[in-house]
Structure 1
């Protein structure tokens, strides 16, 4: 006959089972922790990028950010206050030299130019009139000089006659003196007329030059009005792509308002910016490398902005191959300004780990299955290599890919 198990026995059995289950649970947790720790301390070799330490040359550069822009871009502004009457193109159109882009209301400007043409004809007539008047006046003076000279010759003859008669005793001393006085007076009058003629010639010539200068100034103003009128015929100045046009028909536009932009989208340059702390390393004529993805384009710095704005300076890079197939307006690129060459130095590949000169903790392959962290001193760089100052030897295999997950580890196992 079965007996009932006491409460004390049942309690001991239950506690025993709980202890057994607890031990199993703790063991599982320990195993999981050890497994997780092992996994955290190992990495697949195929997920890493290695760079071998080599000895060679580094062409030192400083990096800048850049944007691809058309090599040529022209903004067409309205030269007058007017109104848009018609629009002949749209953004993206290919235009030739002289292609009409839009039409402005030019009625008042054309009327003003016609008035200037009438005024020009009137001023030419006035100038001709001044020339004729000057010529007439001077001709009259020249005739007076000739008449005075003839009178003087006659007085001279009369003086000789009186002197002859006086020598024969038929004349008188008074008549001789009167003849001498008339001759001297006529001589002075002739000299006065000649001086007056010379002075009037200079005065009339100066007056004529003033009138001619005034007319030339007017002609220049008229030519400027004609040029403005021609510019108001909004046409493409060259073969290019119409990248912008003001298509608001009827809109009032003031002088200087942008109407259209044309760009040469077959050739490009790069507008770049760099921190002004590198200003002494960016000079016109310097060599630069432009990177588009993994591709490199040679270039030369053509100009540098002399002033710093918001801590950066701007410069332009002219590309040797400015029609490269991957160039697009507005494309963001990396620019490297080359400034010096270091030969026979230790170097490793440049990658995202490098942020400037200083000390780094890099993982180096130790044997076949292990990575060991080392303190490494790095120096100058370019877009390909970083200079190794200390901490590495030629032939060392260095991890240059992201190792942030292992930044607190001294050693990491490699899984194949």
Structure 2
């Protein structure tokens, strides 16, 4: 016959089970903590990158950001204010010299050009008319002067005759004097007429030259209008790739507005930017290294903007290999510009640990242990960092990211 188990026995058994389960759970937590602690205090050599301290040369560089740009790029602008009537090409198309790109509404400027052609002809007629008029007037004046000269010659003969008559008693002294006065007055009037003739001819020549000069100025204005009209056809000025075009048919474009961009995508340059605080370290002719992924391209700084814009100075790098296959327009790159050379200095490999000159805490391999050590680092380039103090030649230093171990002073090393 079954007996009922007392309550105190049941409670005792239940308490034993809870103690057993609690002990197992607590032991598991302690074991996991110990394992995590052991893992935290050790690291595999496979997971870190070591650099040996050596002596050598550092070509000191400053780092900047760069962007791959076509070596040649030309912007096509609208020479007049007009409206886009038709788009002939699309972005990405290859174009030759003279290829139509856009068609603008040219009715207004074509009308103005035809009016100017008519005005040019009218100005030419006016000059020819003025030339004929001047020639006729001056010819009449010249003929009148010849007639006057003949009359003066006649008066000179009369003076001689009157004097002869007076000498033989057939004339009078008053008559001789009267004839001489008339003769002298006629000579003075003729001299005045000659001067007037010369002045009138000079004035006529000056007026004609002024009109001819105005005509020449008008011809230049007409030629400029013709050039604008031809440019308004919006044709490609060279063989290139069309990288941008305003394809909004019906849209109005102002004079000087960018309507297309042509690029030579066979060769490239690098447009770099750097904080203006480093502007004194970049100059035209400085050597530069451009990193695209794992590839490195060399070149020289060919241009530096003299002014800072938003705290940034822009510069251009001319590449030694401008048609490298890794270059793509718009690709972002890292640019390192050399500004000094330091020889026979301690150095280690550059890495994510380095962010500029100063004091660092780096892990140094000592047997089977990594020990944290204070190290003074100096200038750098994209390959090496200068060691000022804290390390000796032959030391092996961790140059990979160790930020997760910043609170550790020692780490065990496992293979």
User: Does TM-score exceed 0.5, indicating one fold?
Assistant: yes
Deviation at 1:256, TM superposition (A): 3.5
Whether 1:392 and 2:386 are equivalent positions in the alignment is no
Q: More displaced, 11-20 or 299-308?
A: 11-20
- Alignment partners' CA distance in 2, 1:292 and 1:410: 36
Partner of 1:62: 62
Correspondence for 1:380? 379
Q: CA deviation digits over 1:114-154, x for unaligned, max 9?
A: 22212211111111111111222222222233333333333
Q: Secondary structure at the match of 2:327?
A: coil
The residue matched to 1:201 in structure 2 has which SS?
Answer: helix
5 Å matches for 1:311-322? 311-322=311-322
Shift of 1:264: 1.3
Determine the structure 1 residue equivalent to 2:202.
Answer: 202
- Could you tell me how far 1:251 is from its partner in structure 2? 3.6
Deviation at 1:45, TM superposition (A): 0.4
Q: Distance in 1 between matches of 2:19 and 2:82?
A: 97
Aligned to 2:37: 37
2:409 aligns with: 410
Q: For residue 96 of structure 1, report the CA deviation from its aligned partner.
A: 0.7
1:351–1:185 distance in 2 versus 1, CA, 3 Å: same
Moved more, 74-83 or 124-133: 74-83
How far apart, CA to CA, are the structure 2 residues paired with 1:150 and 1:121? 44
Alignment of structure 1 residues 41-56 onto 2, 5 Å: 41-56=41-56
Describe the SS at the equivalent of 1:285: coil
Deviation at 1:380, TM superposition (A): 1.1
- C-alpha distance after superposition, 1:80-126 (max 9, x if no partner): 33333332222211111111123223233323222221221111111
Partner of 1:288, secondary structure, is strand
Q: Is 2:340 the counterpart of 1:340?
A: yes
1:371 is matched with which residue? 370
Give 5+ residue unaligned stretches, structure 2. none
Contact 1:360-1:375 at 8 Å conserved across structures: yes
User: Unaligned 5+ residue runs, structure 1?
Assistant: none
Matches within 5 A, 1:9-408: 29-367=29-367, 369-408=368-407
What displacement does 1:170 show? 4.0
Q: What is the Cα deviation at residue 239 of structure 1? A: 0.5
Q: 1:179 to 1:277 in 2, by over 3 A?
A: same
Instruction: State the shift of 1:222 in Å.
Output: 1.4
SS of corresponding position for 2:300: strand
Q: How many residues align?
A: 413
Quote the offset at 1:304 in angstroms. Answer: 2.4
1:365–1:167 CA distance, 2 compared to 1 (3 A): farther
The more displaced of 21-30 and 394-403 is: 21-30
TM-score scaled by length of structure 1: 0.90
Q: Distance in 1 between matches of 2:239 and 2:140?
A: 63
